[in-house]
Structure 1
Amino acid sequence: MDHALLARADGPVTRARIARDLTALGLADGDTVMFHTRLSSLGYVAGGPPTLIGALLDTVGERGTLMVTCGWNDAPPYDFTDWPQPWQHAVRSGHPAYDPVLSEADHDNGRLPEALRRWPGAVRSRHPDVSCAALGAAAGELMADHPWDDPHGPGSPLAKLVGLGGRVLMLGAPLETLTLLHHAEALAQAPGKRFVEYEQPVLEDGRRVWRRFRDIDSSKGAFDYSPLTPAGQDPFETIGQDMLAAGIGRRGKVGAADSHLFEAADVLAFGRTWMEENIAGSAGAGRSPQPRQAPENPRR
């Protein structure tokens, strides 16, 4: 047992305690909420991810919906098309297709997305690289017809979350993981927006086929934020801190975790305005972002 985790939250963090803390933070029955979690920050959660998901379900009730970002842990690297031809052939002929039921969520997203997508009744979107999963009353609506191209833009689960009046819950997770800001990037009208194109295998009518996708560069950033953020700080952290300073969002403790609850529409509006005003200003000052090719790392 990690006694440091126990001490951090003044004892074990139970399902009932999490539900009470979520209610105090402002999460309510019937809410549609996308959540991001750093589980260890809550303290010792008795039972782990199922306890947390259970507490969230207790709080939003049967009319509510939970949503997470998943991705695909074992997706082929973006740059496999630059590998030697025999290697490319091996990948193209043998790499399994993305399967919403079987393919694991990206491990970089923590334990909760994988736990939620496996939950009975959960629905996962069809896009291999930026798939999401949802559980609850609006799960099917949120996950349906995830666009192949521009998967962070209109028609995406992120866009639908905003359209349904959804919320975003950060349970000890750093603001740099606020995925909804990628939707703001997709919509923002600012100079120097960067895109990537890549290929991944998917299932169509039960057959494995390779598709080519186009999206904003969500790995290294859809824009060059370097003139606008402190050295070493993720730009989403900067935007998130500015959003909190503007009085947007609720703050509170869930277990031992400093947590935040935002209205999805507020995150989108603030993030898009921040990008359009600041990036345009940066470009106007002679520091126009430079175009970039597909990222070296597989995904954000």
Structure 2
Amino acid sequence: MDESPPDPTAALLARADGPVTRRRIGLDLAALGLAEGDTVMFHTRMSAIGYVAGGPPAVIGALRDVVGERGTLVVSCGWHDALPYGFTGWPQLWQDAVRAEHPAYEPESSEADHDHGRLPEVLRRWPGAVRSRHPDVSLAALGAGAAALMADHPWDDPHGPGSPLARLVEVGGRVLMLGAPLETLTLLHHAEALADAPGKRFVEYEQPLLEGGRRVWRRFRDIDSSGGAFDYSAVTPSGQDPFETIVRDMLAAGIGRRGTVGAADSHLFEAAEVVDFGLAWIREKVGGGR
């Protein structure tokens, strides 16, 4: 006799003392230290939280409950259909087809990168959300400071000065790791962009976007946020992402708060402390202390 397919929620229910509700998430976030009026960039792994009654909207609702009308939520979106950096090495026939017909990036409708999980796509579609204009490394925000944070995302050096990440630091923002892997702490790319250390790697690439209602191709320059802005191989354990190494060292130094949200091991950091620690770490480990 054929066995019934496994229930995808069974594992979640087995390790929770009940459904994780919007109210419960809000209480756990408040206990972790998130507060009314906060501007917070969050990274989430839904499966780590447990069975969330209401799914991603319940998580966003809980975050909004805690930060209130004066607060702002921020997520990293990217663009799911962004072209790979190396598409200019494809056969000419392929390149010609892509240049002729690949859709342009549109902040209001282009899907968030699926690799970022479910929450960014849900938040960027939320009524009132604002998404930044950069096609490769867009962010989205919801709340009182959303428009100011997302405005005029620099085309070049989009993780550096004047970027939404820089503004997050300037406004005294925070970073919430809601069950998310430590290596997903995107704000460390801002530290990489600012770091003056030898061997910094850059990429140049093209993406189509809309300017004045017209589809145009624009060239961009950024740190290599995919392959690594620096060669970290000598200063990180084999098989471990460099950002995980930095965050583990940051936690060992006593930076950040740790708690449980639903069933998820979670962390709350001050954005300025993340960047300061990241800069110092890169300077010491990669730049020889310079």
Task: Give the shorter-chain TM-score range.
Answer: over 0.9
Shift of 1:281: 2.2
> What is the distance in 2 between the residues matched to 1:133 and 1:107?
14
- Cross-structure match for 1:173: 180
Query: In the TM superposition, what whole-angstrom CA distance separates every residue of 1:37-95 from its partner, at most 9, and x where no partner exists?
Result: 00000000011000000000000000000000000001112111111111111000101
- Cross-structure match for 2:68: 61
Matches within 5 A, 1:228-243: 228-243=235-250
Segment of structure 1 superposing worse, 6-15 or 243-252: 6-15
- Cross-structure match for 1:297: none
Q: 2:209 aligns with which of 202, 211, 218?
A: 202
Q: 1:85 aligns with which of 87, 92, 96?
A: 92
Q: 2:135 aligns with which of 120, 128, 133?
A: 128
Q: 2:107 aligns with which of 85, 100, 107?
A: 100
Shift of 1:9: 2.3
> What is the distance in 2 between the residues matched to 1:39 and 1:11?
16
Query: In the TM superposition, what whole-angstrom CA distance separates every residue of 1:13-59 from its partner, at most 9, and x where no partner exists?
Result: 00000000000000000000000000000000011000000000000
Q: What amino acid maps onto 2:39 in structure 1?
A: T
> What is the distance in 2 between the residues matched to 1:245 and 1:119?
37
* Correspondence 1:274 to 2:268: no
Matches within 5 A, 1:1-20: 2-20=9-27
SS of match in other structure, 1:281: coil
Is the CA contact 1:7–1:43 (under 8 Å) kept in the aligned structure 2?
no
Normalising by structure 2, report the TM-score: 0.96
Shift of 1:162: 0.2
Shift of 1:99: 0.3
- Cross-structure match for 1:137: 144
Is the CA contact 1:22–1:59 (under 8 Å) kept in the aligned structure 2?
yes
> Which structure 1 residue ranges, 5 or more long, are not aligned?
285-300
Q: What amino acid maps onto 1:208 in structure 2?
A: R
- Cross-structure match for 1:118: 125
SS of match in other structure, 2:36: coil
Q: What is the RMSD computed on CA atoms of the aligned residues?
A: 1.0
Query: In the TM superposition, what whole-angstrom CA distance separates every residue of 1:237-263 from its partner, at most 9, and x where no partner exists?
Result: 000000000000000000000000000
Query: In the TM superposition, what whole-angstrom CA distance separates every residue of 1:195-218 from its partner, at most 9, and x where no partner exists?
Result: 000000011000000000000000
> What is the distance in 1 between the residues matched to 2:236 and 2:10?
37
Shift of 1:3: 2.3
* Correspondence 1:186 to 2:183: no
> What is the distance in 2 between the residues matched to 1:7 and 1:171?
20
> What is the distance in 2 between the residues matched to 1:159 and 1:42?
29
> What is the distance in 2 between the residues matched to 1:199 and 1:251?
40
Aligned-residue sequence identity (percent) comes to 79
Q: 1:49 aligns with which of 46, 52, 56?
A: 56
SS of match in other structure, 2:166: helix
Q: What amino acid maps onto 2:78 in structure 1?
A: G
- Cross-structure match for 1:289: none
Query: In the TM superposition, what whole-angstrom CA distance separates every residue of 1:168-191 from its partner, at most 9, and x where no partner exists?
Result: 000000110000000000000100
> Which structure 2 residue ranges, 5 or more long, are not aligned?
1-6
SS of match in other structure, 1:17: helix
Shift of 1:4: 1.7
* Correspondence 1:32 to 2:32: no
* Correspondence 1:246 to 2:253: yes
Q: What amino acid maps onto 1:151 in structure 2?
A: P
SS of match in other structure, 1:54: helix
Normalising by structure 1, report the TM-score: 0.93
List structure 1 segments (4+ residues) > 2 angstroms apart after TM superposition: none
> What is the distance in 2 between the residues matched to 1:273 and 1:7?
42
- Cross-structure match for 1:147: 154
- Cross-structure match for 2:3: none
